[in-house]
Every structure is written in structure tokens, then in C-alpha cells.
Amino acid sequence: MIIPNFAVYLGQESEKDFVGFFAENNFFAIIKINNFPKEKGREILKKINSDLEKNQIEKLTDFESIIDKHIREENLPIGFSLACGFKKNNLFYLKTIGEGEIYLKRDHQIASIISNNNSASGLLKNKDFFIFSIKELFEILGGKDELKKIFNEKKPNEILEEITPKLKEKNDLGLIALFLLFEEKNEFVLESEVEEETLRKEEEKKPEKKAFSPFYSFQEKMPVLDWENRLKSKNKRLTLLIVIIIFVILVWSVVFGLARRQAALVKKEINNTKELISHKLKEAEDVSFLNLDRSLALIEESKSELKKLEKKLSKDNQPQIEEIASLIKRQEQKLLKKEEKSPEEFYDLAIENKEAKGDLLSLSGENLAILDRKGTIYLLSLTKKSISKKTFPEIKGADLLALYDDQILFYKKNQGIYKIVNSKLNKVVDNDSKWGNLIDFKIYNGNLYLLDKDNDEIYKYLVSENGYSNKISYFKTGQSVDLIDANSLAIDLSIYIGFNDRILKYTAGVKDDFKTEFPNTKPMINKIFTDKNTEKILALDKNKATIYVLAKTGTYERQIYSPILAQATDFVTYNNQIYILVGQKIYRIALN
């Protein structure tokens, strides 16, 4: 059982301010409130302690809510300082406000764990030493290096005796510090010690052996001595046998007792870690709705605790490790709304050409165009699974692809834009020397849109009877944006521009008030997709083999995980199915 041992330093008392402490019933606190009645201050600490006793404290937010409740109810003035903690079993919940600061000395390390307006929780260990105070005290004592010297293997009362003269030399008006040491007190004796004591008592109870001394005549003396010698020899062997048996019992007791104690320690370590992780996972679930980033941070903390445990255990404990890992994974998937799905092979281009390799996709209605830069564009019906192909020398080395009704268009660097209609190929837009790096190409209502990341432009070419107009900027004046990190383009009524970690939305050339949310602080988006027939925005993260599903408001809804996504070269969605291009093959995953 871990129990507390504490000592308190109180500096010179101020007439106007309240400076006080509390250390009862597992609640520990120091507080400083300027221009505040002392009796009222003491009453507040008692009320907090009473509330902590009455309420079921299961997580850090429970502890914080009780502290915050009393701060509001008592209408405490701005600028007060607080450092407090509450022990529940082997968990310790901490909170600081204002100039409050809490240091922890564990093993040979000492560090400030929280200060200002912060909170934390963690599992207590034997000989954990906490210092609750305000920042002024640590400055007077000389900072962390001096603290290490002062707190070296000392009890709270010993520390108090050592630092009091130093603090009294300074201006200690209103200073306060609570020194709190947690130590594990054993309420049992070792099993081997019990067994040794039992053996000792049994030996004491045995009757003493009486000497062999019968009366014999002189003539009988020799036979008697011979018998006595044989008896002594037999007694020696019996004694040796008893010694060996006792030794074996003691060895068995020590070895197996040690093994049992070791197993008990391992079990305790596992249970403590499981309790801490369960606590973090529950807190992650509670805060996920309002603060998903904090929720995910708690998941990562749980994984870190599991790794620490795994390093301490042997392979024999792998089932317990896997059980906790499974617990973390289920909670993570639940919070992230993560769905793991298996792909099905939808079509293999090798049926048409063994040397085929898909590089890009473009969707129009139920038809899918597939660019093979070796010189072929395949047109695949997603409903009929029928396929046709267009082969022209100009297709070889093409950079971008777009499909609109029965028209296939492709862009080739330094040459321009070509259109294929009814097996006829024509160049429809000549190469423009002012183009920079064109990275995506879309058609909407017959108009062409080209994304130029070097020139921070989206060029628009209006469709006309004779082909297409000259290029114009899609952006209204003053609306353009830095596109150097852009990677893709998607169009419904608005235009969406994909970046590594975000998506921008423009309508009629004007930037919308649109913000994307992702469950990871740093997603690595490779491509986005949506169109007028798709209700969602999909974002591919190959690094995580994941597609994020967002509402068209930018709100994160869920994610789909499948290992095949890590290999994807392109993807589209049609009729609630995701079609994924990987080399020669097209795979399909259900969106719903």
C-alpha cells in the first residue's frame, strides 16, 4: 500500500492575503489568494475535500470539474494560485492554477510536471516525491539543480529543516510549500521467512535425544560398545538425510517462493498498467466529441505505456500484452470511426493486354478512362465491365487525363491538349509557353480547368463551337493562393484544391469559409476526389493506407483503412464504391 508522508513550509503571514494548505483524506493542496478572508479560504479547501469524498472520481475530468465548480461558486478573484492533487488508489490527479507549480522527484530525476493552468494524471510509484508550491519558492531555492541536492534521499521533515534557514534569510512573506512523499508499506512477510520460522518452531518442539546408557557387566562391555558404535553411525546417516531434506525444502521454498513473488510482481505491473491505460481510454472517449486531438493524444499515451510494459516483460506474457493492445486498437478505431475493409479485384487490364499498366483514372458517369503512358487509353464501363481502347502515338508519355461524356482529353507537356472523339484525335489547345507545372486537369460542363502549381493559377478554357476560348484565370481578383504544395483538383459546383494537410474550396472564383478537419494533426494527403454525383469529399493518405471521408462542409465523418490503398496510383468513387488503380488491376471497396 502506498501511503503519504508530508511536511509544510509556511512563510511570514500576510494580514490581507490568505495562504493555506490542506492534507487530509487523499486530498493535498496549497493555495494563495490575494485580499481574501482567511476563514473563508480554509472553508473552501474543506468543501473541495468533502466533495471529493462524496463523488466518484474515475478520471481526471471528474477531479477538474469539482475544482472548477468551487472556483465558480466562490467567485475567487483573478490572480489566485493553486497547486493540488487527489490520490485514488494508485492514481494521482494533479491540477495547477496561476503561479501554482508541481515538481516530481522520481528515482534520480527531478522535473516540473505542471504549472500555470494545467492538469495531469499518472500512476504513483514507490518513493515518488512531489513538491507543491508557487514559482517564487523554486526561484529562491535556486532552481532544479539545487533541488536535486536538497531532495537527495531525504524525508519531508528533514528537507523542511534544511531549507527553513535559507528561506528565512530571504523575504518569505506569503511563501508556502507542501513536501509530499509516497512510500510503499508492506503489510506482509516473505513466504520463505514464514516457512523458516515454522521449521524453527517445529525443531524446538521436538524432544531432546537421550544418551544411550544401560547398565552392563564387564564381560558384556565389548558387545555393547560395538552396538553403540553401529547406532552412532546410523544416527549420522539419518542426520545427514534430514539435513539434505531440510536443505532441499529450503531451496524449493526460496526458489519457488522467489518465482511466485516474481510472478506476483509481474501480475501487479500488468494490472497497474492496464488500470492506467483503461483510465486514459475512458478519458479519451469522454473528450472525443469536443476535443478529438486531445483524445488521440491519450490514445498515443496509452500505446507508450504499453511499450514500456512490453520492455519489462518476457515472451511468456505476450497474451496479456496482446489483450491490452487489442483494447487500445478497439478504442482507437471507435474514436476515429475507422473501418477496416478488404478489397475485391474488379478488373485486370492484363485480359486486354499483358503489358498494360494503369497510370491515371478519370470518371464521367459510369465510364472510367485509364491512361497507360506507354500509348493507350482504356475506356471501361463500371456497370457492364465492357472495355475498349484508344491507341495513338501522341498518348505515349501523356501527363494528364480527363473524361467528359464520350470525349477523352489528355495533356502532354510541351505539346498541348488533345481530344479523342469517335476514334479521331485532334489537338484542341496549343502548348502555352507561360504554363508552369500543370499537375491536374478536370472538365466541368464542357469547360477545361488546369491546375498550375508553379504560377499559383487555375486556368479556365470555355467550350465554344470551334473548340475552346483563350485561357482566363478562374480566381477573382485578389483570391489566388500559394499552390506550390497543391496535389489535386476536384469539381462539383465548386472547386476543391487538395494539399498535403488540408483542402481549400472556391465557388465562382471566390474562397469559401471552408475548413477541413482530420483525426491526425499531420495527415499526408496524396489526392482528393468528389464530383457532382458524389455526396462526400474523399482524401487518400497512402502513408496510412487510408481514405478520409468528409462532409462537403469539411467536417470529418469517418475513415476507411485497407492495405491496398498504400499501393494506389489513383482512385475514384462511383455509386458508393471506391475504385482503386494498382498497376494492371482495378480493385473495389464499398464506401458504405
Query: Which H/E stretch holds residue 42?
Result: helix 38-54
Q: How confident is the model at residue 520 (pLDDT cuts 50, 70, 90)?
A: low
Q: How far is CA 115 from CA 30, 96, 138, 192, 494, in A?
A: 13, 6, 12, 47, 47
For 169, phi then psi, to 5°, come to: -65, -25
The per-residue pLDDT for 149 is: 73
Q: How confident is the model at residue 219 (pLDDT cuts 50, 70, 90)?
A: very low
For residue 114, what are the contacts with CB-CB under 8 A and spacing of at least 6? 94, 95, 96, 101, 102, 120
Q: How confident is the model at residue 209 (pLDDT cuts 50, 70, 90)?
A: very low
Query: Residue 463 is which amino acid?
Result: V
**Cα 12 from Cα 173, distance rounded (Å):** 4
Query: Residue 370 is which amino acid?
Result: I
Q: Quick one: average pLDDT of 136-153? A: 72
**Cα 110 from Cα 53, distance rounded (Å):** 30
Q: Quick one: average pLDDT of 475-493? A: 95
Query: Residue 94 is which amino acid?
Result: L
pLDDT over 80 at 104, yes or no: yes
**Pair 379, 420: CB distance under 8 Å:** no
Query: Residue 407 is which amino acid?
Result: Q
Order across the sheet with 577-582: list the strands: 344-348, 585-590, 577-582, 570-574
Q: How far is CA 336 from CA 369, 544, 548, 561, in A?
A: 33, 13, 10, 11
**Share of residues in the chain with pLDDT > 90 (%):** 51
Using one digit for the tens of pLDDT, what is the confidence trace for 530-562?
A: 999 999 999 999 999 999 999 999 988 999 999
Using one digit for the tens of pLDDT, what is the confidence trace for 257-314?
A: 666 777 788 888 888 898 898 888 888 888 776 677 788 888 889 999 999 888 888 8
The per-residue pLDDT for 550 is: 94
Complete domains list, the chain, with CATH: 2-184 (3.60.40.10), 191-336 (no CATH), 344-590 (2.130.10.10)
**Cα 563 from Cα 545, distance rounded (Å):** 5
Residue 210 DSSP label: P
Q: How confident is the model at residue 387 (pLDDT cuts 50, 70, 90)?
A: very high
Q: Quick one: average pLDDT of 212-236? A: 40
The per-residue pLDDT for 224 is: 36
Instruction: Name which residue leads in pLDDT, 70 or 147.
Output: 70
**Cα 19 from Cα 33, distance rounded (Å):** 7
With residues binned 3-state (H G I as helix, E B as strand, rest as coil), the percentages for the chain, rounded to 5, are 35, 35, 30
Number of neighbours of residue 216 by Cβ within 10 angstroms: 12
The per-residue pLDDT for 197 is: 46
Pick the closest to residue 441 from 401, 408, 477, 403 (CA basis). Answer: 401
Q: How confident is the model at residue 418 (pLDDT cuts 50, 70, 90)?
A: very high
Judged by DSSP in three states, 463 sits in strand
**Cα 47 from Cα 386, distance rounded (Å):** 76
pLDDT over 70 at 207, yes or no: no
The per-residue pLDDT for 254 is: 66
As beta bridge partners, residue 3 has 183
Q: How far is CA 575 from CA 318, 554, 589, in A?
A: 44, 21, 11
State the Cα torsion 455-461-466-467 to the nearest 10°: 80
The per-residue pLDDT for 241 is: 81
Using one digit for the tens of pLDDT, what is the confidence trace for 457-467?
A: 999 999 998 89
Judge residue 307's burial from the number of C-beta atoms within 10 Å of its C-beta, 0-12 exposed, 13-18 middle, 19 or more buried: exposed
pLDDT over 70 at 221, yes or no: no
Instruction: Name which residue leads in pLDDT, 481 or 267.
Output: 481
**Pair 396, 375: CB distance under 8 Å:** yes
Q: How confident is the model at residue 255 (pLDDT cuts 50, 70, 90)?
A: low
pTM above 0.85, yes or no: no
Q: How confident is the model at residue 222 (pLDDT cuts 50, 70, 90)?
A: very low
The per-residue pLDDT for 206 is: 45
**Cα 80 from Cα 176, distance rounded (Å):** 13
Number of neighbours of residue 88 by Cβ within 10 angstroms: 17
**Cα 379 from Cα 385, distance rounded (Å):** 10
Q: Quick one: average pLDDT of 361-386? A: 96
Q: Quick one: average pLDDT of 27-55? A: 92
Q: Which three cell numbers stand for residue 451?
A: 491546375
Q: Which residue has the cell 490581507?
A: 16
For 254, phi then psi, to 5°, come to: -65, -50
Using one digit for the tens of pLDDT, what is the confidence trace for 324-339?
A: 999 998 888 888 788 9
Q: Mean pLDDT of all residues in the chain? A: 86
**Cα 59 from Cα 319, distance rounded (Å):** 27
For residue 256, what are the contacts with CB-CB under 8 A and spacing of at least 6? none
pLDDT over 90 at 345, yes or no: yes
Number of neighbours of residue 414 by Cβ within 10 angstroms: 8
Pick the closest to residue 129 from 149, 102, 100 (CA basis). Answer: 102
**Pair 451, 473: CB distance under 8 Å:** no
For residue 189, what are the contacts with CB-CB under 8 A and spacing of at least 6? none
Q: How confident is the model at residue 521 (pLDDT cuts 50, 70, 90)?
A: low
The per-residue pLDDT for 289 is: 67
